Amino acid sequence: MKLSKHEFCAAVNTYREMLEQEDKYCEILHLNPEWAPSEWIGNYYTLLSSLCELEEDIYVGTTLDWFCFETNFGERNNKIFDGSKTWRIESPEILYDYIMEVEN
């Protein structure tokens, strides 16, 4: 992990805000999700993901992928069992702690 906890949380929150703003713009302006800013948002996520240096599972991606896309940033189905402890990952802060304790 090349990011501090503060940097990681700020980046995840920024990514979430970017997605939310994009959804609003697309809805208001009746835009296709394939518009140019969508590519920039994707590139931002790629950079964030590479800075985390997480192991990628070919079927489910990384823990960051799971948090952002499968749990909608910790809002649903956010539990992980690591073999000894069940984690409820509801925020970027908890995700960072999980990554540092379990995946590093």
Give Cα separations from 56 to 13, 52, 83 (angstroms): 21, 11, 19
Domain ranges for the chain: 5-103
User: Chain-wide mean pLDDT for the chain?
Assistant: 90
What local confidence, expressed as pLDDT, does residue 31 receive? 73
Per residue in 26-48, pLDDT tens? Answer: 888 877 666 667 788 889 999 99
What local confidence, expressed as pLDDT, does residue 34 receive? 67
Residue with tokens 């959804």: 23
Dihedral-angle region of residue 65 (phi above 0 means left; psi in -120 to 50 means alpha; beta otherwise): alpha
Position 65 pLDDT exceeds 80: yes
Looking at beta carbons, which pairs linking 52-57 to residues 24 or more positions away fall under 8 Å?
Answer: 52/1, 52/2, 52/3, 52/8, 52/99, 53/1, 53/2, 54/99, 54/103, 55/103
